[in-house]
Amino acid sequence: MKTIKRSVTTVLFLTMIALTLSCKDANKKNVPVSEAKQHEKMDHTKDMDMSSNQDAISEAILKDYFNLKDALVGDDNAKAKTLGGVLAKSLGNLDKSKYSENQQKELIDIIEDATEHAEHISESDIKHQREHFKILSKDITEMVAITGTATKLYEQFCPMYDGGTAWLSTKEEVRNPYYGSQMLTCGSVQREIN
Amino acid sequence: MKITKVIAIIVLIVLVGIQFVPTKRNKSDVTPQTDFMLVSEVPITIQNQLKVSCYDCHSNNTSYPWYNNVQPIAWFLENHIKEGKAELNFNEWKNYSDRRKNSKLRSIIKQIENGEMPMDSYTLIHRGAKLDSLAKNEIINYMNNLKIKN
């Protein structure tokens, strides 16, 4: 009898503790993603001098993209996960303030979408990584159309993957990131950039 | 006191205790103007199917089962809903850029095609949420047509 009484008291006591603790459950709301609105004061000249800093950031994004591509070419799921995370981070660093209003809008959309795909790549199996890499490649290609790059790039195209899929490479030689070792050389150069 | 009895009592205490931990319920009476159904002209059959199969985790309004009042099930559900909404919230459709809409549509199609969505753990209990091949095709065709061509 005594033990029962004691355990009932303990239950009540612990319940009280649980209640007190749970009320403190903080309501951490995610920060609103109001994209760099303060950068509104840009100049409208078409060919503005892009600071070397800006170039460095978009080149870094490209470099991370190519590293990720190489991991997929090598069928390396774990490495692609890590590199997807790296790319997601570097995408966030792009300074859009140098560009015209339309370009900024476009870049915001591109970066937002690309970041989401890069994040997915950082947590998916290789099949999903490749699905996301397809759209990511489209985003990056369109980013480059705005930011430009000093590197010579090759847009390559594999007609077999998902009804035809493109990607970017720094080398002319085809190494397919969607099939890896399964069909390493499937595809062809469809466009040269620079 | 026997050790098993002690353990039983502790388990009981914990189970009772966690019942008092509140969960954030995903409930909303209004459908925002940005909702998928209001933005796109969705045929009624597809509307109903999406509501049953997707909206519980991919909108701001979940129709909860009774067992959502029991912990730790409620936590499990809360977590799923949070993740689901972060991934895709049909109520926010209009707020997505065209580019993201296309990405979302593509993911929706892929996931339905591969039977990854709706999740097995969901359709196990919500039998009506399971998509048969007819419903799958209908939704996939519809979503394909929504893609913004450029």
Q: Which of A113, A127, A137 is the best residue to mutate to test the B interface, defined by the most B CB atoms within 10 Å of its own CB?
A: A113
Question: Which DSSP letter does residue B111 get?
Answer: H
Q: Does B99 contact A110 at a Cβ distance shorter than 8 Å? A: yes
Q: List the structure tokens of A125.
A: 């199996």
Is B88's pLDDT higher than 90? yes
Contact A142, A105 (CB under 8 A): no
User: Is the four-CA dihedral B87, A135, A115, A113 of positive or negative sign?
Assistant: negative
Angle at A18 between CA A15 and CA A20, to 5 degrees: 110
Q: What is the pLDDT of residues A48-90, one digit of tens each?
A: 444 455 578 889 999 999 999 999 999 999 999 999 999 999 9
Kindly state whether B17 is in contact with chain A, defined as any CB-CB distance less than 8 angstroms: yes
Q: What is the pLDDT of residues B89-118, one digit of tens each?
A: 999 999 999 899 999 999 999 999 989 999
Looking at A93-192, list the stretches that DSSP marks H as alpha helix, in order from N- to C-terminal side: 101-121, 126-147
Could you tell me the pLDDT band of residue B29, with boundaries at 50, 70 and 90? confident
Q: What is the pLDDT of residues A99-128, one digit of tens each?
A: 888 999 899 999 999 999 999 999 999 999
**Counting one residue from A and one from B, how many pairs have CB atoms under 8 Å apart?**
48
Q: What is the pLDDT of residues A149-174, one digit of tens each?
A: 888 999 999 999 998 999 999 999 99
A22, A109, A131 ranked by CB distance to B99: nearest? A109
Kindly state whether B13 is in contact with chain A, defined as any CB-CB distance less than 8 angstroms: yes
* B127/chain A closest Cα distance in angstroms: 27
Best CA proximity match to A142, nearest among A81, A85, A90, A193: A193
Kindly state the average pLDDT of the residues A12-22.
Answer: 47
For chain A, helix (H) and strand (E) counts, in that order, are 5, 3
Q: List the structure tokens of A142.
A: 């369109």
Q: Does B13 contact A113 at a Cβ distance shorter than 8 Å? A: no
pTM of the model: 0.73
Query: What is residue A6's predicted lDDT score, i.e. its pLDDT?
Result: 58
Q: Does A131 contact B9 at a Cβ distance shorter than 8 Å? A: no
Contact B85, B150 (CB under 8 A): no
For residue A88, give the 3-state DSSP assignment.
helix
Residues of chain A neighbouring B103 (CB-CB closer than 8 A): 113, 116-117, 135
Best CA proximity match to A52, nearest among A150, A182, A157, A167: A150
Could you tell me the pLDDT band of residue B64, with boundaries at 50, 70 and 90? confident
A19, A25, A135 ranked by CB distance to B103: nearest? A135
Q: What is the dihedral of CA B83, B84, B85, B90, to 10 degrees?
A: 170
Contact A117, A135 (CB under 8 A): yes
